[in-house]
Structure 1
Amino acid sequence: MFLFRTFLTYKAKQKGRTSVVIDRFYLTLNERTWVCPSCGKKHERDKNAAMNIKQEGLRKLGA
């Protein structure tokens, strides 16, 4: 995993981008679904995790 992160960071810098590392324990694997308290819509774990990881990355970047 370290080598992949190193390559990814290098490529990001090379293209003028920024890479952000999210803690691997940010989300647990036993959270299979999530129900939105506002609209009641059921979200699947992988899609919801992708959205949450994106939000956390943007938060860490200060966007």
Structure 2
Amino acid sequence: MAQLTPQERAVARLVAGGATDQQAALELFISVKAVQYHLAHVYSKLGIRSRSELAAQFGELPSSD
């Protein structure tokens, strides 16, 4: 499985948990555009196309915590 960067993982974790792009941006102190940028890379790396697929697959990713 593709390696996510720490920022991609943080965005993916929030969005998979139900956060909107704006909520994720506020939580991470980044812009909404940055959230969208990271999500596009996450989707590409994981071979998914939607938030529901992200939520389903993100639970399978090993945690870096």
TM above 0.5, yes or no, is no
| Larger relative helix fraction | 2
Point out which structure has higher relative CO (alpha carbons under 8 A, 6+ apart): 2
| Larger relative strand fraction | 1
TM-score by length of 1: 0.32
TM-score by length of 2: 0.31
Higher Cα Rg, which structure: 1
